Structure 1
Amino acid sequence: MRISLVRVSIIVMHALSVAADWTDFGAHEKPVSCPRRAIIQGFEKCRENSVIVIEIKGTLLWSKDIQYWLKNSLPIGPGVDQESYPPAAYQNQTTAMILGGKRLHVEGYGHGTFDGNGQTWYDFVRGESNYPNRPHALVVTAEDSYFHGLRFVQPQMWTVTVVGSKRVLLEDIYVNATSSNRNPARNTDGANTMFSDRITFRRWTIQNGNDCIAAKANSTNIIIEDSTFHDGQGVAIGSIGQYYGRFETVENATARNIVAYGSRYLGRIKTWTGEQNDWPPNGGGGGIGYVKNINWDNVTIHDGSRAPFVINQCYTNVDQANCSTSTFDISDISYKNVQGSIRSAHVAEFQCSRSHGGCDRIVFENVQLENIAVDPPVAASQYKCSNVNEPDGFKCG
């Protein structure tokens, strides 16, 4: 079956045969539950002070009709209030489905599944990054909402993208984006946030080929906790600074109680260079702003493939770039209670841009990493860095 293009706000879920319940919390002494019925009828009775419950009890399977989706996928913006960024064409990214509103409860009971038929896309793009109009699996634009017990398998591109949202908890979510052949499952981020505040990811299990969870432009007060990652690239801040002259920020983000297996990174901060080269989604640069108060606490990596912590201010799409041109400010970064095994002598590799004076107030505390690239294994204790001001708890080599 082919699921047609869906922008979910109020009535479209009925076309997908997804059950919906509404409960009125304001107008009566006792809550009044509206029975399952046509969505329009439900909203006529429960239109005020209600919580919308969307139950996904089976599998939503997207078709393999690539040409259809290339022509009909939706722009990822704007947010739920229709005034916040991103603009409709931000990063020229699109999605197969948008689910949004206020006071939503989206329930999958641990088996409600989004199947994007991703292998068709992995074979089609053959590793090309950000192929135009290759859709994300799901965009969330919500406020005061709860997403629970959902499964995402073989997403077309990015899996869950939280855009223009506030006060959203996404809990007990499973993501698996793996290729069955040599064509990589590239750009299959587990989740991303943009232009969003107070978003919590709790108890996620992710196996994929890119960032597991990333906080991107104008993400504030983000929590990632009690989660397990397989392969992939851990928690990312950015990329950010892609649009020339545009001010963006990521502030107050915490990753805690994370376990990663075979990951390339545990935590990476990436900003574009200060010089613009081409246009998004694959090109850009020259953005301004700051990354501040980012914390990793009680994080474990097993069999990591390289230094688990990276700051890269030379993000670009060209072979040779001036890596000291970014004016994006990075400060107040902490890595505490880190343990595990890696195939590197380096705990971190930090490349901070000289143009804005380097990175400030970076702290390491209680790091116990073992370098298993040598026999017998030894402690990983080296830090490779440039333009890091007054490092705390470590020494740049």
Structure 2
Amino acid sequence: MVKTGSTCVVTPISETAKAAAVAAAAVVARDIPGRDVVQGRDIDTATQTEGDLDLDDIWNLNDPSSNPKPGSPGALGHYPRPEPGLKKNQARSLDLGVAGDEEEEEEVAAVAPMGPRQNRPDDTPQILEAFKQCRQDSTIIIREGTYQIRQVMNTTDLRNVSIELHGATLVWSADNISYWRQRCFSVTYAGRCTAWLFGGRDVSMRGFGKVLFNGNGQTWIDLAKGEANLNGRPISLTVWRGTNIFIDGITWRMAQFWHTFVAHSQNVTMTNMDMSTWTNSQHKSVNTDGTNTWNSRDVRIANWTVKCGDDCISVKGNSTNIHVSNVTCYESGAMCVGSIGSNSRQPDYVENVLFENIQLNHSSNAAWIKTYPGTGYVRNITFRNIRFSDVNQPIYVTSCIYSYQNCDSSRIPITNVRWENVTGTSRYNVAVGIHCSSGAPCDGFHFEGIDIKPKAGGNAKVLCSNIKNQASSGLQCTGPCPGSHPQQLSGNV
């Protein structure tokens, strides 16, 4: 990591090693015993005095970008340096396979790459150092290359910082699972944890559509063996206590758990994301959500493509003013409010949520709401312009998710919900299944432009229970919906 002015530049250890080898070759090339030749200049290592070229000079001569302007791609620069306390010609030796005497080996060692272990490099320390040194009124540039992430990262104290990832690939290790399970940071919600806490005020992270986050998710999928909430399975990235956060242009592949989580945050915008986590084994990729919001407000999500084994976009408790638009989801739970109300002693509130311009393919549901028999409320929700094909049960509302018990004891009223222009094919013969609690009936439901047809043909069923003013809602129910009616069907009803 190199800091120039208010800019911190990070280069992967692997690339630093390549640069070190090039510089080493230049140092070894000599025409007089005991003398080095660097770009045509002689350096007498035996008689070098103050004012002569030192190791930094060697790097500067070989690296034309060693003094970058702030905001420009930085240099490999002045890494690696000798260990503190060593003289310039006494750096730790490293065998790079170059023949020569003992003095030559010391000179080659002066440009040895950083890293705690040569066989398992870890770029986490230098990335964290960049966030530490440039945590305020600064720019952090992560240069092109592959970065090995072997440790948790907490970068939540940022102020007015721009992070630029220029073609970088970040790979989270999968050979130290016990470390991740023990050291991931708690995010409080449902006992979950995360590999990266990211936050602060006035912070942007841009990937320019060329950055890749690889969580090695298959290892976690196989470890979980279908268990939905394996303890210590980390969320890839959590926006935590952030204000005015902008994240754009990042590709995820094989996330460890949820791809992202937004918690205790305000004014968060996440755009142009490409997320995909699947399984190549007999175990399902459960709980690999695209994102979840919780205890947050003023969140905007736009221009996403998500393939995952659970909810595509989920709005959880105490989320307000959430806008989701232009999202395409594959093999997922699509657009969801919930689940909320799991703790009856802690009310959950969700209001002012808009999902619009959504495309779904082979999902479990399309536009739906799930609560436990808890307390709180859900209100002012709109699902607009939702188009899909082969969705298990497109519109679904339940007051007793998962257990399907005590469904009529829920005290979470669901009110003022609109479904507009929801069209496509259902996998089976149920287009709508809505069971509201008789103890807190749904009210203010409005349906317009609903056109759902079973993919095998025939008429779709619309099952409804405990909806106030249902006759004027725009939905023609064909029968009641019992509390035991499941979220996903296994055949026609």
* TM-score grouping bracket, smaller chain normalisation: 0.7 to 0.9
**Using the alignment, how far apart are the partners of 2:388 and 2:350 within structure 1?**
24
Query: Could you tell me which of 313, 328, 340 is aligned with 2:399?
Result: 313
**2:436 — aligned with what?**
352
CA gap 1:40/1:359 in 2 versus in 1, 3 angstroms: closer
Q: TM-score, normalised by structure 2?
A: 0.65
| CA displacement at 1:217 relative to structure 2 | 1.0
**2:375 — aligned with what?**
288
Deviating runs (4+, > 4 A) in structure 1? 10-17, 32-49
- Aligned residue type for 2:401: Y
CA gap 1:56/1:46 in 2 versus in 1, 3 angstroms: closer
Query: Could you tell me which of 356, 361, 380 is aligned with 2:444?
Result: 361
**Pairing of 1:173-252 with structure 2 (within 5 A):** 173-252=273-352
- Aligned residue type for 1:106: M
- Aligned residue type for 1:349: G
**Pairing of 1:1-397 with structure 2 (within 5 A):** 42=134, 50-55=160-165, 57-64=167-174, 65-76=176-187, 89-141=188-240, 142-273=242-373, 287-305=374-392, 307-316=393-402, 318=403, 321-356=405-440, 358-373=441-456, 377-380=457-460, 382-391=461-470, 392-396=473-477, 397=479
Larger radius of gyration, structure 1 or 2? Answer: 2
CA gap 1:321/1:235 in 2 versus in 1, 3 angstroms: same
CA gap 1:120/1:39 in 2 versus in 1, 3 angstroms: closer
| CA displacement at 1:53 relative to structure 2 | 2.9
SS of the counterpart of 1:360?
A: coil
Is the 1:34–1:42 Cα contact (8 Å) retained in structure 2? no
| CA displacement at 1:268 relative to structure 2 | 1.7
Is the 1:104–1:144 Cα contact (8 Å) retained in structure 2? yes
Which ranges in structure 2 are unaligned for 5 or more consecutive residues? Answer: 1-5, 14-68, 76-129, 140-157, 480-493
**Using the alignment, how far apart are the partners of 2:222 and 2:454 within structure 1?**
36
1:49-91 Cα deviation digits (max 9, x unpaired) = 8442342531111111211111111112xxxxxxxxxxxx331
**Using the alignment, how far apart are the partners of 1:97 and 1:49 within structure 2?**
17
1:135-162 Cα deviation digits (max 9, x unpaired) = 1111012221211110111111111001
Give the percent of matched residue pairs that are identical in Structure 1 and Structure 2: 30
**Using the alignment, how far apart are the partners of 2:427 and 2:71 within structure 1?**
57
**Using the alignment, how far apart are the partners of 2:9 and 2:293 within structure 1?**
24
| CA displacement at 1:309 relative to structure 2 | 0.8
- Aligned residue type for 1:262: H
The farther-off stretch of 112-121 and 54-63 is: 54-63
1:109-137 Cα deviation digits (max 9, x unpaired) = 11211111110011111001211111111
Is the 1:111–1:149 Cα contact (8 Å) retained in structure 2? yes
- Aligned residue type for 1:338: V
Larger proportion of helix: 2
| CA displacement at 1:256 relative to structure 2 | 0.5
| CA displacement at 1:11 relative to structure 2 | 12
**Using the alignment, how far apart are the partners of 1:327 and 1:302 within structure 2?**
34
CA gap 1:204/1:45 in 2 versus in 1, 3 angstroms: closer
The farther-off stretch of 143-152 and 185-194 is: 143-152
**Using the alignment, how far apart are the partners of 2:194 and 2:362 within structure 1?**
29
Is the 1:11–1:39 Cα contact (8 Å) retained in structure 2? no
**Using the alignment, how far apart are the partners of 2:326 and 2:136 within structure 1?**
40
**Using the alignment, how far apart are the partners of 1:322 and 1:49 within structure 2?**
47
**1:23 — aligned with what?**
none
CA gap 1:180/1:354 in 2 versus in 1, 3 angstroms: same
**Using the alignment, how far apart are the partners of 1:55 and 1:256 within structure 2?**
29
**Using the alignment, how far apart are the partners of 1:53 and 1:234 within structure 2?**
30
The number of equivalent residue pairs is: 341
SS of the counterpart of 1:395?
A: coil
CA gap 1:322/1:40 in 2 versus in 1, 3 angstroms: closer
1:207-233 Cα deviation digits (max 9, x unpaired) = 111000000011111111111011111
Is the 2:168–2:212 Cα contact (8 Å) retained in structure 1? yes
SS of the counterpart of 1:135?
A: coil
**Using the alignment, how far apart are the partners of 1:394 and 1:160 within structure 2?**
35
The farther-off stretch of 248-257 and 36-45 is: 36-45
- Aligned residue type for 1:367: I
Is the 2:138–2:162 Cα contact (8 Å) retained in structure 1? no
| CA displacement at 1:321 relative to structure 2 | 2.3
- Aligned residue type for 2:454: N
Is the 1:14–1:39 Cα contact (8 Å) retained in structure 2? no
- Aligned residue type for 2:182: K
| CA displacement at 1:45 relative to structure 2 | 6.7
Is the 2:199–2:245 Cα contact (8 Å) retained in structure 1? no
CA gap 1:163/1:11 in 2 versus in 1, 3 angstroms: farther
| CA displacement at 1:16 relative to structure 2 | 7.4
Larger proportion of strand: 1
1:329-367 Cα deviation digits (max 9, x unpaired) = 1001111111111123322101111122x1111111011
**2:50 — aligned with what?**
none
**Using the alignment, how far apart are the partners of 1:180 and 1:46 within structure 2?**
42
The farther-off stretch of 203-212 and 96-105 is: 96-105
CA gap 1:44/1:73 in 2 versus in 1, 3 angstroms: closer
SS of the counterpart of 2:221?
A: helix
**2:51 — aligned with what?**
none
